[in-house]
Amino acid sequence: MTDLGSLFARTAAEGRSALVGYLPAGFPTVDSGIEALKAMVDAGVDVVEVGLPYSDPVMDGPTIQAAAERALAQGTKTADVLRTVDAVASTGVPALVMTYWNPVERYGVERFARDLATAGGCGVITPDLIPEEAESWLDATSAAGIDPVFVVAPSSTDERLRRVTSVTRGFVYTASTMGVTGTRQTVSDRAENLVKRVRQVSDLPVCVGLGVSNADQAAEVAAYADGVIVGSAFVRRLLDEPSVPAGTAAVAALAAELATGVRRR
């Protein structure tokens, strides 16, 4: 298990933001998805989010929904997600799971936290879980030694930011816009203000997601955030390429481009 705190301390010492890359497990297949994630790491991704495909992804845009549907159609299970985490963690980068809460409950809250830790995972992002309903999850992650990562948005009040950050560990996931995931022509200027507001109530690293798809946008976000999260742009590369090898090469090329962006600031 790789500690997120150590990772963010290292990137801060290097004078840059961390690049966080996302792909859902099982896409295009379990094995080819693992190879794509390893290629992204080799090209400069510092932290990996492994998505747990879910049949009702209400916060995901059409690109990630399409990938998740393909993964589910091929029978991707939680065990495949954990195998993907294990493979990514073996590269030495921190590996987290991004999941809706329902699959965690179905699998078993304590069991999920324990099995993820055994696989080398260091945390879980739960976008639809609120702190007021997270007591069992906070107990389970504490016992397993993994980080519960919660999400804040531009609409979050200052009181809400204090509440969310009081139970978050690892980093705070800040959504740059209201709405579902997806690449955008520009990253919302509300994101920078939200990062400033989070830092007024917490010393945790702050990462920005939703919308980043190229080096210029990555550099823009890296100027004020501790981490730049990219998901839909990676998924889009895999969806658009005609073959698995071409898709793997495409996500590696995007990772290299984005890595230059977070270093440019």
Q: For residues 21 and 250, give the distance between their C-alpha atoms in angstroms, rounded to a whole number.
A: 14
60 is catalytic: yes
Yes or no: say if 215 and 260 are a contact pair by the CB < 8 Å rule. Answer: yes
Looking at the predicted structure, is the pLDDT value of residue 1 above 90? no
pTM: 0.93
The domain ranges of the chain are: 4-264
Average pLDDT over residues 229-254: 96
**Percentage of residues of the chain with pLDDT beyond 90:** 86
Q: How many angstroms separate the first and last alpha carbons of the chain?
A: 29
Catalytic residue among 3, 14, 31, 49: 49
Please say whether the structural domain 4-264 has been given the CATH code 2.20.25.90: no
Place 265 in a pLDDT band, splitting at 50, 70 and 90. low
Give the burial class of 258: count Cβ atoms within 10 A of its Cβ; 0-12 exposed, 13-18 middle, 19 or more buried. buried
Q: pLDDT digit string (tens) for 127-166?
A: 999 999 999 999 999 999 999 999 999 999 999 999 999 9
pLDDT confidence of residue 177? 57
Q: Is 49 a catalytic residue?
A: yes
Instruction: Report the pLDDT averaged over residues 84-102.
Output: 97
Task: Report, as an integer, the average pLDDT of 213-218.
Answer: 93
Give the separation between CA 125 and CA 173, rounded to whole angstroms: 8
pLDDT at 185 over 90: no
187 to each of 8, 141, 219, how far by Cα in Å? 22, 32, 11
**Among residues 60, 80, 115, 192, which one is catalytic?**
60
